[in-house]
Amino acid sequence: MNGMRLRSARPQRPGQPSGRSSSRPAGRPLLAASARPWAIALLAGCAILVAVLGVLFARHTLASPFDRAVDSPVIAWFAARQDLAGWLAYPGTLIPAVVLSAAIAVACLLAGRRNGAVLAVVAVPAATGLCEALLKPLVHRTYLGQVTYPSGHTATVFALAATVVVLLLAPRPAGARVPRMLISAVACVVGLLVGIAVIGLRFHYFTDTVAGAAVGIGTVCGLALLLDIPAVRRWLRIA
C-alpha cells in the first residue's frame, strides 16, 4: 500500500505529457464573458430577421411599398453620381474583401491571436457563401432579373466590420481604447455607405441590404462564439 502511495505521488518529469488535454491553456477568448449573452442574442435576432424578411419577399419581382419609399430618393440622388456610387460600393467586392481579410489575419498572427486570424479568414467566405449558395436561390427575390436577397455586398462589408469590432473591442489590455472605438466606428460607417451605394446602383432593395448586414453580423457572432469554445481554443493553442 505504501509503495502504491509512493508511486502515485512521484513527481512528473518536465516535458512529460500529462495525458489530460484539459490541462493545456485555452488562451484568451475573442469575446468577454459579459459579451457572450449579447452575441447569442444578436445572432438569434439576425437569424430571425433574415428568415422573416425572406418569407415576406420570397419570389417577389418588384419593390415593396416600404422599399420603394426608401429606395426612390437614394436612386434619384445617385442618378447623376453613378461613379461615386460605384466607389462607395467597392469595399463590398471581392478584391478589397480578400485584401482586408488577409491584412487582419496577418495582424492577428503577429499579435499571437490565432483565433482572430481564423475569424478574419473565415468570416467573409462564410457570410457570402450563406448569401450566394443558400439564401439567394432559396428566396429567389429578383431586381431587374437578378436575384438580390440578401445583398452579398452588404454581407461582405458587415462581416469585415463585425470582425474588426470583435477584434478591437474584445477583452484586451487597458489603453488605446479611443482609437480602437474610432476604427470600429469607421468600419461600421463604411458598411452603411456600401449599403446605400448598392441601392443607388439599383443592385438591391433596402430590405436586401438590411438582410445582408444581418447575415454578415450574425455570421461573425456565430464564428466568435464557436472559436471561444475552450476545446477549440486549446486546439488552436493560442497564447
Whole-angstrom distance, CA of residue 61 vs CA of residue 170: 41
User: What is the chain's mean pLDDT, rounded?
Assistant: 88
Q: Residue 143 pairs with which residues in a beta bridge?
A: 146
130's CB contacts (< 8 A; 6+ apart) are 155, 215, 219
The string of DSSP letters for 205-237 reads -HHHHHHHHHHHHHHHHHHHHHHTSHHHHHHHT
Whole-angstrom distance, CA of residue 16 vs CA of residue 195: 55
Which of 87-96, 131-140, 146-155, 224-233 is least confident? 224-233
pLDDT higher than 90, residue 177:
no
pLDDT band for position 213 (cuts 50, 70, 90) = very high
Specify the pLDDT at position 107.
Answer: 94
- 165: number of Cβ within 10 Å: 20
Closest C-alpha among 48, 14, 64, 100 to residue 218 = 48
pLDDT band for position 12 (cuts 50, 70, 90) = very low
pLDDT tens across 51-85, in order? 999 999 999 999 999 999 999 999 999 999 999 99
Domain edges within the chain: 33-236
Tell me the whole-structure pTM to 2 decimals.
0.86
Specify the pLDDT at position 230.
Answer: 87
pLDDT higher than 60, residue 15:
no
pLDDT tens across 125-135, in order? 999 999 999 99
